[in-house]
Structure 1
Amino acid sequence: MSSRPRRTQAERRTATRGRILDCTADCLLERGYTATTVSEVQQRSGLARGTIQHHFPTRAQLIVGAMSHLVDTRISRFREEAALIAPGPGRMQAVVDLAWRDLSSPIFFAALELWVAARTDAELRATLVPEQDRLFAAMRELYAETLGEPYTSDPRVETLVEFTVDLLTGLSLATMLSSSAGSREAVLRRWKRALAVLAGVLPADELLGGRSLSELLPPGGTMTP
């Protein structure tokens, strides 16, 4: 019976680094930024502190390494779910739902903790910004790729994607302190309709719930402030 081949030094290094990042990511998701310390990661991983610091000399590098690991997971998950969206007229609305799942996921809230901490931590901010830029660039490409034609070549879509991300990010922040699922679903429905109007799929009256603007105006035909 042949023995299992011994791992190379590079393979052992990769496995150790992966173990550190997995434990750091788990801690960040479960306990938040403040509680994610080298000591906590050491306890979770069972590795020596020196081993952890050999791979990540500072706590900021450890945190951002874990964030990079989570970013890769987030991109991969988005791509896998996007591949399941069927072609057709409802594709744009399905992309909004996918974006919402992404922007209200535990990984998003882990990133949010880092954003808040980076506001007053120059070292963390310097290492976090490039990683966030990588994420944003990848997600923009994924949104365009998932929407497909005729949206991909439509010059309006880049702006609509930005608006969608900003709106859903704000909605996700609002839900941190609110459990009103009905209100959240209403916002999503209205934004899907607005996107369809802005993209020219639906007539402008649909933005008003199917009623014409003249029906909503008071006598005299002008809106009052």
Structure 2
Amino acid sequence: MTEQRPRRTQAQRRASTRARILACTAECLLESGYAATTVSAVQERAGLARGTVQHHFPTRAELLVAATTQVVDQRLEQFRREAELLPPGRDRLQSVVDLAWRDLNSPAFFTALDLWVAARTDAELRDRLVHEEQRVFTEMRRLYLEVLGEPYAADPRAELLVEFTIDLLTGLSMTAMLTGTLGEREAVVRRWKRALAVLVGQLPSDELLDGSPLPLTASAG
């Protein structure tokens, strides 16, 4: 005799529907961008009535920000997984640059960028997005410093260097998205790694423009 599954409660059905809506919204944002992620597009993808979507998320801004939270959480989890796979002997300062560069060239980052641009002229979206972006910025900085570990963590310059790295690579990703080739972008990343090595005393300043590869196991001075 086939065992019947217990019927889901109303709360469980509601949570399942909400999760489905958010998953479909996140997919739409990643695949098609902000402009194409309308309530109609989400309800069609989810196979739900428009009223069902709007029951959970009365406005488009609420829907998009809730989905962005999900994308952000996936982005943070991906960073954590990649950080755990770093070889133990590899220089952590260079590793943070590599991790940050991959993150800032990911679909999740470009989704965030799309929303930032839209929020410039959408007050409701901007108000709701500010808190979420503050959360991701705070958490990413914490993760970068955590990955650095010792001897960098004890260096009073570490937090500022992480800040510079994020700002530089964010700007590079945004501008190179339209104008730069992959080779040009990678060259800037290599130069920044060398600049960081000079700043922490791994290399003398006269080697700043040297094009040779940095040692993978360099330690802070």
TM-score by length of 2: 0.90
Answer whether contact 2:191 2:209 (CA < 8 A) is retained. Answer: no
Identity of aligned residues (%): 68
Task: Write the distance in 1 (CA, Å) between the matches of 2:54 and 2:154.
Answer: 47
Whether contact under 8 Å (2:94, 2:193) holds in the other structure is yes
Structure 1: stretches of 5+ with no match in the other structure? 211-225
Structure 2 distance, partners of 1:198, 1:3, is 66
Map of 2:195 onto structure 1:
194
Alignment match, 2:130: 129
Equivalent-residue separation in structure 1 for 2:33 and 2:172 (angstroms): 21
The structural deviation recorded for 1:179 is 5.1
**Aligned pairs (5 A) from 1:169-208:** 169-178=170-179, 180-208=181-209
Q: CA–CA distance in 2 between the matches of 1:21 and 1:118? A: 19
Amino acid at match of 2:75: R
Q: How far apart, in 1, do the equivalents of 2:117 and 2:58 lie?
A: 22
What amino acid does structure 1 have at the position aligned with 2:133? Q
Residue 217 of structure 1: aligned partner: none
Moved segments of 4+, more than 3 Å: none
1:39 aligns with 2:40: yes
Q: What are the superposed Cα offsets for residues 27-57 of structure 1, whole Å, 9 maximum, x if unpaired?
A: 1111111111111111110111121111111
Distance 1:135 1:175 in 2: 22
Greater relative contact order (CA < 8 Å, ≥ 6 in sequence): 2
Bigger mean CA offset, 199-208 vs 112-121: 199-208
User: Corresponding residue for 2:215?
Assistant: none
Matched residues in 2 for 1:94 and 1:192: separation?
10
Hey, what's the Cα distance between the residues in 2 that align with 1:154 and 1:87? 20
- The 8 Å contact of residues 24 and 42 in structure 2, kept in 1 or not, is answered as yes
Rounded Cα–Cα distance in structure 1 between residues aligned with 2:151 and 2:8: 49
Deviation at 1:89, TM superposition (A): 5.0
Q: Which residue of 2 aligns with 1:27?
A: 28
| CA RMSD between the two structures | 1.4
Give the counterpart letter for 2:137 in structure 1.
Answer: F
Counterparts of 1:97-116 in structure 2, within 5 Å, are 97-116=98-117
TM normalised by structure 1 equals: 0.89
Which residue is 2:62 aligned to?
A: 61
Distance 2:51 2:182 in 1: 47
Q: Which one has a bigger Cα radius of gyration?
A: 1
Aligned length: 210
